[in-house]
Structures are given as C-alpha cells and as structure tokens.
Amino acid sequence: MPRCVPLLATLALIAGCTDTPTKPDTPSPSTPSTTSISPTVGTSEPPAPAPTRKAAVVYVSDGDTIGVRFQGEERVRPVRLLGIDTPETKDPDTGVECGGPAASRAVTRALPRGAAVTLVTDPTEDKSDKFGRLLRYVETTDQGDLALVLLRRGLARVYVYNREGVRFGRYREVENAARRANSGSWGKCPDFGD
C-alpha cells in the first residue's frame, strides 16, 4: 500500500487506495463502474425510468402543442410534444399548412379539456425550448403515447431538433409504416415531410 497521510489513512482504505494507479475516470478493477451511460448506448442494466408528472389538459394549441395545469398549481404550462412535428395552423409566417387542421382536431379529440395526461421527460433532451414550452412525451391512459398515435395516423412526422431522444427509433418505424401506406397527410399533402 502506498504511503498515505496518517489522518487520511482510514479514508484511503475505504476509498480503495491500492498499488495500482488508475485514471481518475476509470474504476479500479475490483469496483463496478458507476459512470453514467447514455440511454441510447446498450447496457446490461435497464435505464432508470424517466421522471413523470401528472397534469390536466387546459387547451390544445395545435397538433404538437398543448397547455396543462399540474395538480396544486394555478399556472398553465405550454407543452411541446417531443419527437414530432405537425403542420402549422397558427404561425403567421407560414399560414395554415396542409394537414394542420386534421392534426389539431385529432389532438383536441384525444385530449378534451380536463383530460388527465402523464408528461414524461427524456434524459437526452432539453427540458424546455426557447419559447419556454416544456418538452415532454405526452401519454394518456387509454391511448398511450400521443406522438405514436399521430405518427401512426400519418398526422405527424418525426422531428429531431438537436439530438435523437430515447423514443425516436420507434417513432421512425411508425412514421415509415404510415408513409408507405400513404396514411393521413402522407397521402393528401404533397409537401408533407419536406
């Protein structure tokens, strides 16, 4: 054992002070790694569940943006659905795009005012965007992941802003199936997906 300062001898033993030097970020051969691994990299252990929070729907802005209120709070928070994009209905710079009203109607039917939703964060994504909207996966008890519902019906397309989230692989599979089947906007809107 290398020489340790007497006051630190006990700590050194607990910390595993050995003759074999290790790099600061490399675990010693006898201790398991505690380094965090990106959820997109294969691991032997399942990733920890993503943080979730229950909320009630207050409004639907369009096919990919809603407003919610968390229990015990008065403030209404805008939420942008992670991983998808729907055609615009309210952007003054683009006007109403083909497929936008259909996507908005689908979300309004799926999420009536007061509907209970679960918001799920993605550890690989930002928590909010530059407009202050929360970036979350939105799930319902009866339909599950709302983004998957919209992708399956051809009313949304996969959208990657900065990096791919943990659900994006599945989203791409569903989007590709809807595109091949000319579902929803894939069959009706020539510019959908551009």
Annotation says 133 is catalytic: yes
55 Cβ neighbours under 8 A, 6+ residues apart: 68, 69, 70, 71, 77, 116, 117, 118, 119
Among 69, 75, 77, 88, the active-site one is: 88
Annotation says 77 is catalytic: no
Annotation says 88 is catalytic: yes
Among 80, 136, 167, 179, the active-site one is: 80
Among 77, 125, 133, 157, the active-site one is: 133
Q: Catalytic positions, please?
A: 80, 88, 133
